[in-house]
């Protein structure tokens, strides 16, 4: 669809990094070749990790014995250091290395380097050896993958692979020269094959629209998303389908069957019956994740397209997950993913996302008179104001308050650390610390 003249005038061309994922339909031979690449990447990862650990251990023993050890004696863990180490040792460790493409071992070095960086930054534990499991993935460099047409792609050492769905959205970008493939990751999950492209794309981003259509969105567990305008009109209500809870019975059934099979043990390969049973377990998990993500995509796209200003809460989801009574339900709701998608989609469609202050009492404040309740249990689903007599659904009340928060400013940053408007200083002072965080225990159930 071509853009109109008016749209081109009111938009700017920007380079973005965007992901495209398509389902693959490989032949049995191509499946075997792809799994060979998975195994090669896993082997190279473990081999490089073993060399680094052995080198570090030898240096430690040498230092304890009183020997002199310099920084040059330690093997480096950067991406290129590991690549050079693999090039030096590959003939000795893996004489079959030429059966797979160069991208296979580049992927292993890149992943191991990232694992060491995360460990040094305190974000992860020391890297562990990768076990041989069902499925897997491998990342190909940009020169190893190309689209031949809208239904086929060619992968180095694999050949031309058919896709289940049309790739015309990406293929047209590549034909026009408005996109460049940076890398591609082939993966097998729950018996399904996919390929994900990381692409630099030139997009015409519209200028930020004037905030005429404003909506406040309150996320919850009873009703997943509740939206309202500043004048108090409810405009959005998405029931919580509870995808994981709905699949728990089937998941328990498939897991029970898998538990009765001969699974993988140390030195013992799993049986084929266990592999088939475990594949059924993975399919249930994949169906839940896909259903959840589809609902979030539909809702966020609708909001970003139809509203100029969207106001949400800045929730401490990680802290909320510490409440073991609600952790499963909060994880199933995926509030953080909802906000993450809104952040980039509002940029695409010219709307603005505002995050209200984390401690703003949106649920406890009366949307009619502004009175703030000291306490509002989660099992109390109707907000009743003792000051003005307002009786309203608590989620709608919170959405109205959030929408009015957006009218005062259109900054996409949160209010933490900034100036608080005088009319909200009283609200901030009287807000309960557990309003949108987990510094205090939750009062009620789901």
215 has pLDDT over 80: yes
Q: What is the mean pLDDT of residues 25-42?
A: 95
Q: What is the pLDDT of residues 179-195, one digit of tens each?
A: 999 999 999 988 899 99
Q: Which of 1-15, 47-61, 383-397 has the highest mean pLDDT?
A: 47-61
443 has pLDDT over 70: no
DSSP structure class, residue 56: H
Beta strands in 281-364 (DSSP E): 309-313, 352-356
User: Residues with Cβ < 8 Å from 233, sequence gap 6 or more?
Assistant: none
**Dihedral (CA of 356, 357, 359, 364) sign:** negative
H or E stretch covering 235: strand 234-239
DSSP letters spanning 142-179: GGGEEEEETTEEEETTTEEEEESS--HHHHHHHHHT-E
Q: What is the pLDDT of residues 224-248, one digit of tens each?
A: 999 999 999 999 999 999 999 999 9
Q: What is the pLDDT of residues 338-386, one digit of tens each?
A: 999 999 999 989 999 999 988 899 999 999 888 898 888 888 889 999 8
* 287: confidence class by pLDDT, cuts 50, 70, 90: very high
Q: How far is CA 397 from CA 44, 120, 367, in A?
A: 56, 45, 6
Q: In b/e form, how buried is each residue of 276-291, taking b as 16+ CB within 10 angstroms? A: ebbebbbbbeeebeee
Q: What is the mean pLDDT of residues 215-220?
A: 94
What mean pLDDT, rounded, does the chain reach? 87
259 has pLDDT over 60: yes
Pull the structure tokens for residue 266. Answer: 């140390």
Spatial CA neighbour of 347 closest among 22, 17, 20, 21: 17
Pairing state between β 352-356 and 382-384: unpaired
Other beta carbons within 10 Å of 382: 10
Radius of gyration of the chain (CA): 27
pLDDT of amino acid 416: 33
User: Residues with Cβ < 8 Å from 391, sequence gap 6 or more?
Assistant: 382, 383, 384, 385
Pull the structure tokens for residue 391. Answer: 């009786």
Q: What is the pLDDT of residues 408-434, one digit of tens each?
A: 654 433 333 334 444 444 444 444 433
Q: How far is CA 423 from CA 35, 288, 412, in A?
A: 62, 44, 20
Cβ(359)–Cβ(366) under 8 Å?
Answer: no
H or E stretch covering 136: strand 136-141
Residue 250 C-beta-side C-alpha neighbours within 13 Å: 14
Pairing state between β 382-384 and 391-393: antiparallel
Looking at the chain, the whole-number percentage of residues with pLDDT higher than 90 is: 67
């Amino acid at each position: 669809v071509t853009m109109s003249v008016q749209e081109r005038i009111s938009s700017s061309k920007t380079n973005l990094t965007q992901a495209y994922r398509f389902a693959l339909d490989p032949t049995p031979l191509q499946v075997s070749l792809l799994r060979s690449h998975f195994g090669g990447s896993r082997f190279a990862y473990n081999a490089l990790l073993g060399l680094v650990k052995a080198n570090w251990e030898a240096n430690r023993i040498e230092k304890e014995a009183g020997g002199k050890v310099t920084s040059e004696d330690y093997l480096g863990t950067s991406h290129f250091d590991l690549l050079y180490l693999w090039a030096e040792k590959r003939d000795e460790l893996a004489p079959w290395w030429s059966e797979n493409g160069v991208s296979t071992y580049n992927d292993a070095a890149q992943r191991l380097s990232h694992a060491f960086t995360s460990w040094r930054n305190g974000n992860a534990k020391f890297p562990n050896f990768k076990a041989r499991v069902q499925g897997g993935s491998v990342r190909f460099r940009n020169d190893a993958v190309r689209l031949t047409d809208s239904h086929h792609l060619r992968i180095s050492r694999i050949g031309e692979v058919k896709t289940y769905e049309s790739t015309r959205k990406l293929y047209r970008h590549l034909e026009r020269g408005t996109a460049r493939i940076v890398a591609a990751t082939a993966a097998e999950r729950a018996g399904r094959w996919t390929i994900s492209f990381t692409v630099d794309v030139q997009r015409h981003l519209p200028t930020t629209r004037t905030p005429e259509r404003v909506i406040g969105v309150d996320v919850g567990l009873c009703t997943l998303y509740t939206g309202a305008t500043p004048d108090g009109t409810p405009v959005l209500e998405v029931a919580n389908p509870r995808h994981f809870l709905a699949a728990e019975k089937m998941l328990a059934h498939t897991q029970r069957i898998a538990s009765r099979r001969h699974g993988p043990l140390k030195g013992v390969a799993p049986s084929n019956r266990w592999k088939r049973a475990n594949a059924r377990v993975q399919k249930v998990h994949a169906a839940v994740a896909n259903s959840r993500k589809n609902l979030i995509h539909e809702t966020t796209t609708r909001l970003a397209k139809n509203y100029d200003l969207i106001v949400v809460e800045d929730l401490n989801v990680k802290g909320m997950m510490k409440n073991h009574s609600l952790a499963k339900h909060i994880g199933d709701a995926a509030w953080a993913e909802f906000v993450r998608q809104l952040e980039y989609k509002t940029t695409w469609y010219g709307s603005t996302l505002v995050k209200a202050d984390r401690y703003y009492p949106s649920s406890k404040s009366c949307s009619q008179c502004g009175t703030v309740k000291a306490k509002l249990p989660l099992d109390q689903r109707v907000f009743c104001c003792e000051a003005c007599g307002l009786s309203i659904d608590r989620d709608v009340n919170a959405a109205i308050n959030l929408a009015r928060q957006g009218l005062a400013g259109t900054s996409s940053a949160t209010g933490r650390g900034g100036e608080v408007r005088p009319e909200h200083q009283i609200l901030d002072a009287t807000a309960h610390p557990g309003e949108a965080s987990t510094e205090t225990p939750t009062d009620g159930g789901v």
